[in-house]
Amino acid sequence: MTIETLSENKSFGGIQGVYKHTSSETGTDMTFAVYVPDCKAGTKMPVLWYLSGLTCTHANVMEKGEYRRFCAEHGIIFVAPDTSPRGEDVPDDDAYDFGKGAGFYLDATQEPWATNYRMRSYIESELPDVIAANFPVDMDRQGIMGHSMGGHGALTIALRNPGRFRSVSAFAPIASPMNCPWGDKGLPRYLGDDKQLWREYDAVALIEDGARLPDLLVDQGRADNFLEEQLKTPLLDQACSKAGIPATIRLQDGYDHSYFFISTFMGDHIAWAAERLNT
- Positions annotated as catalytic residues are 148, 224, 257
CA distances (Å), origin 11, targets 17, 131, 202, 265, 273: 10, 20, 36, 20, 21
Question: Whole-angstrom Cα distance, residue 166 to residue 132?
Answer: 17
Q: How far is CA 225 from the centre of its chain?
A: 21
* d(C-alpha 31, C-alpha 35), whole Å: 14
Q: Is the separation of the CB atoms in 81 and 127 below 8 Å?
A: yes
Rg (CA), the chain: 17
- Beta pairing, strands 165-171 & 247-252: unpaired
Residue 185: burial class (beta carbons within 10 Å; 0-12, 13-18, 19+):
middle
**Class of residue 95 by CB neighbours under 10 A (exposed 0-12, middle 13-18, buried 19+):** exposed
How many Å apart are CA 239 and CA 245, to the nearest integer?
8
Q: Cα(first)–Cα(last) distance of the chain, in Å?
A: 29
